[in-house]
Structure 1
Amino acid sequence: MNDAKKKNLDHSLICLCTAELVMMINTTAFNVALPNIAESFGADMADQQWIVSSYNLVFAAVVLLAGFIGDRLGHLRTMIAGLGMFVVASIIGLASGNIPTLLFSRSIMGAGAGVVIPMGQALLGILFRGSELSRAMTAWAIAGTLGVPFGPLVGGALTAMLGWRGIFGFDGVVFLAVIIVIHMNVPQAGASHESRSLHVPWISVALMFAGFTLFSAGLVNAQHGVLAASAWIPMAIGIVLITGFVLHDQASNNPLMELDLMKDPSFAACAPALMMLNFSMYGIIFIMPTYLETVLRHGTLVGGMLLMPLVVASIVGARMNDWIVSRIGSRGTSLLALGCLAVGMLAIGAAMWWPNEIVKQLTVLAGQTMAGFGLGVGQPAMLTWAMSRVPIEQSGAGSSLLTVFRQFGSIIGVGIFGSIQSGLYVAEFREFAQSFGLNQQSAGSVTLDFQHALELTSSVGGLIRQTASRAYESAMIGSFAAAATIILVALGIVALISRKTLR
């Protein structure tokens, strides 16, 4: 590779990684602002889950369509259109006066993310090959891994200085700058698009979106009980619609999804592995800010800073990726990453058992570090392993298919963590309230219960806050233990699927 070409590719890599970094900062910055938003609009846990899930739902619905369009109209052109959605959504978000408008803004951002992330991965898969692809994916993973836990720090700072609307203002300016930089530095690349039909399979799109929406709604409602009709009926219908989408799409002459890629065991193994990365990441980021800001009574800025062990460990893991892969292979590295995530989840949950606050926080730190390392080392290994198996002309479809699995992980991460945490919290609150001799019902959210405590006398209010804090910590034991179990099951599935692959 000559120096001029290498320099141009390096510029392209920096620009694409910048887009990924800003995207992931945006994705998680809102999590740290959720307590602030809950206070502004009186949002309960279900409302907060929808604020996060609306983004993830539309993301998942759009991502396959983005791959379909990108492979036909050009990945760069499609990516810039996705970035433009963030600018529009930021303007709407700034003017939000209620939760529905906020949800609409976040949904548009989800659509933008559903376009940008798979197109970025597709461009990397086209521009780089061989050892250079591994280097590019590692840089991409570092950018994304850094952005996810770094988002709460940025969100905390903006919320502390400007309120939660400051995040929308930040997004509008930054994404506009990213559009200009990418347009100037990243070349159009890929196979010819003229020969491929742009006829969009809208039935497939509708079935997938309806399926994911109903399944997510069921997960949110599961906080009132998994056997409640409002939980299992939407989930069951959602599963039927998702199954119908897969069958319809496979029989179609113009499929939205290239499921033939799943015949490759390496690609097929990466799909559930990447799903567990997002499941873990979004679950942690959804639960921890409320614990740090409300239960421990830190501000948004300090709460964001206390998630930095996750950031640092993620960067270390990503930087060590090549070294680890060279010794145990992509398969071994992926399994190691999932193992680290499970151990990290168990440690964070187990920390809530400790009566000593110093030991408790040190154990939480250790859990964050272990989970962060798993996130950092796993993502580049899994993406490189999978994308190296995808033909160039299917780069958009391959990247989009992987991203669907990742976003489904995000949806079930927020849904499962949120519902288990909320359900256990209400039950534990009732139990602790009775032990304190209080006749109090939980509002369904530790943030709202803390707000309610401010309206009571100092002695009763203090008992309410103590009850809510103990209930939230106790619920974390169950939610993180359940998450660790799910990850271990996925680890076994990944090991089974990939057992005949080479390293």
Structure 2
Amino acid sequence: MHATAAVTETRNPRRWLILAVISLAQLVVLVDNTVLNLAIPKLTEDLGATTADIQWMINAYALVQSGLLLTAGSFSDRYGRKRSLLAGLLLFGVGSLAAAFSLSSGQLIAARAGMGIGGALLTTTTLAVVMQVFDEKELPKAIGLWSAVSSFGYASGPLIGGALLAHFWWGSIFLINIPVALLGCVAVAKLVPESKDPQGARPDLVGAALSTIGMAGIVYAIISGPEHGWASATVLVAAGIGVAALAAFVRWELHVPHPMLDMGLFRNRRFNGAISGGLLVAFGMGGSVFLLTQQLQLVLGYDPLEAGLRTAPLALVVVALNVAGLGAKLLEKLGIAMTIAVGMTLNAVGLAMVAVLGTPDRGFGGMLACLLVMGGGIAPAMPAMANAIMTSIPAEKAGAGAAVQGTVNQFGSGLGVAILGAVLNSRFAALLPIGLGAGAAGSLHEALLQARTPALQAQVRDAFAGGVRASELIGALAVVLGGMLAGMLLRRAARSEAHQAAWARPTIRLEAAPAPFTVDLR
């Protein structure tokens, strides 16, 4: 009774309100990741944007955000998570205002880059704050709710964007960020306690520069690969610079007295297990969600808003199950390793079902069943993965841990889109009817233009659908392998920790009993 009361007293009484505030900040960042795609036709018309301009409008945000993740995580640990949240919200709000009233493609690209800086600070800080204000007992539920908001953000972007673009000009998709950023700043200033690493006073400027160059180089190579070709000079040079910079970053961090990323984290088996599995899961999920949108629009024939509405059940299932606390309950009952393995296996089954049931003749009914199964797997698995990463590092390094998690998600998702997209294109080209021009394999649109008869056009659509199905099955395999790998490594880590803890327990030495007292009667 007294122990429970003591624990309750040490908990932050405003912790759930703090979670709501930082989840709102996270929601804004995630909505902005998807909302711009719907505005492409209007941007092309109003700003005279070229295809290259559009690509940079989309990629500038992702490139800057992913390039600064490690630096932003270190910044929040060294100078304070509350300070980082405020800086991120302000930068995001100012960048959104500049984007809304941009008069040229160049201005919009620059504004999106500024928003990426704010997004990096927010992405790495929100989860770190969750680690600070919740204790071990409530942490799984808190991370589950944080993950539910993330899922809702991904799904609500197309819906919010579609509704705004139907009634207002394209700048409205950025203006909605401003009141949220202002509200977030006021709430963070009043509610969120400051926390930072007491040993992190000295900045690591060299490490920050190397990590930013390395991350930006590799992410740029991933983004540019499908467009320029994986063997092109642009991609190879960017990848080479990125790999060289990251190698130099690792060497620097191993020897500098105050590193921005403690390389000792990678000696933790639980941390490595979650990172390794998370990379494969992000690969499969990122690529498969990309393919899902392609299937809904180009195979099943829905427009962007209709496609967005039809992906909503996936996010709603994740939100509902995590709000109900399912992920936290499974985590307590099964443990991290088994929760991840079971959840990702269920998710992989849903992805494989998409490949089989997502056909025009079945309508949306088959797809709905697939999305519900996927959501049932994602709901417990993704919070468990985040929990595994964040609880395997010291609390004072929470920003760095969140940065590593964000980096894994960015790399895995980017590689998934690039590689599974390449598989789609390759399979599509192989299935195209003979007689079409060489450029037909470049896109479904080009192939349909070259297919003069309805029969040929039907064959082209069937070929594209076949490519999507093949890629989705590979994505499902990546997800289940990622879940199994993470579960296996985390189980081994738990056994190793239990073994070390058993050896570390103090032992009680039993002295030999004294010889019995005897009397000589002779």
TM-score (norm 1): 0.83
Matches within 5 A, 1:65-464: 65-96=71-102, 99-162=105-168, 164-190=170-196, 192=198, 196-202=200-206, 204-223=207-226, 225-228=229-232, 230-232=234-236, 234-293=238-297, 295-318=299-322, 319-351=325-357, 354=359, 357-359=360-362, 361-422=364-425, 424-425=427-428, 427=429, 431-432=432-433, 434=434, 441-442=439-440, 444-446=442-444, 449=446, 460=452
Task: State the Cα distance separating 1:74 from its structure 2 match.
Answer: 1.1
Query: Which of 55, 58, 66 lines up with 2:64 in the alignment?
Result: 58
Q: 1:47 to 1:246 in 2, by over 3 A?
A: farther
Check the 8 A contact 2:140/2:327 in 1, yes or no.
no
Q: Distance in 2 between matches of 1:408 and 1:177?
A: 31
Show structure 1 runs of 5+ residues with no match.
Answer: none
Task: State the Cα distance separating 1:123 from its structure 2 match.
Answer: 1.1
- Say which one has the larger Rg: 2
Q: Greater relative contact order: 1 or 2 (C-alpha under 8 angstroms, separation 6 or more)? A: 1
Task: State the Cα distance separating 1:351 from its structure 2 match.
Answer: 3.9
Residue identity opposite 1:15 in structure 2: V
Q: 1:368 to 1:136 in 2, by over 3 A?
A: same
Identity %: 24
Q: Distance in 1 between matches of 2:105 and 2:353?
A: 35
Q: Distance in 1 between matches of 2:485 and 2:158?
A: 32
Q: 1:439 to 1:261 in 2, by over 3 A?
A: closer
Residue identity opposite 1:77 in structure 2: R
Q: 1:209 to 1:409 in 2, by over 3 A?
A: same
Moved more, 487-496 or 116-125: 487-496
* 2:504 matches 1:501: no
Kindly provide the CA deviation profile for residues 80-105 of structure 1, in whole angstroms up to 9, marking residues without a partner as x.
10111211221232234555544433
Check the 8 A contact 1:32/1:152 in 2, yes or no.
yes
Q: Distance in 2 between matches of 1:464 and 1:47?
A: 34
Aligned residues: CA RMSD = 3.5
Task: State the Cα distance separating 1:53 from its structure 2 match.
Answer: 4.0
Task: State the Cα distance separating 1:329 from its structure 2 match.
Answer: 0.7
Q: Distance in 2 between matches of 1:142 and 1:29?
A: 19
Aligned to 1:479: 471
Q: Distance in 2 between matches of 1:403 and 1:329?
A: 23
Task: State the Cα distance separating 1:501 from its structure 2 match.
Answer: 3.0
Residue identity opposite 2:269 in structure 1: P
Task: State the Cα distance separating 1:322 from its structure 2 match.
Answer: 1.8
Check the 8 A contact 1:49/1:220 in 2, yes or no.
no
Q: 1:37 to 1:243 in 2, by over 3 A?
A: farther
Task: State the Cα distance separating 1:149 from its structure 2 match.
Answer: 1.9
Moved more, 322-331 or 222-231: 222-231
SS of 1:18 mapped into structure 2: helix
Moved more, 15-24 or 211-220: 211-220
Q: Distance in 1 between matches of 2:286 and 2:117?
A: 18
Check the 8 A contact 1:84/1:175 in 2, yes or no.
yes
TM-score (norm 2): 0.81
Residue identity opposite 2:308 in structure 1: G
Check the 8 A contact 2:70/2:211 in 1, yes or no.
no
Show structure 2 runs of 5+ residues with no match.
Answer: 1-6, 496-522
Q: Distance in 1 between matches of 2:407 and 2:111?
A: 21
Task: State the Cα distance separating 1:75 from its structure 2 match.
Answer: 0.4
Q: Distance in 2 between matches of 1:232 and 1:362?
A: 44
Q: Distance in 2 between matches of 1:500 and 1:141?
A: 26
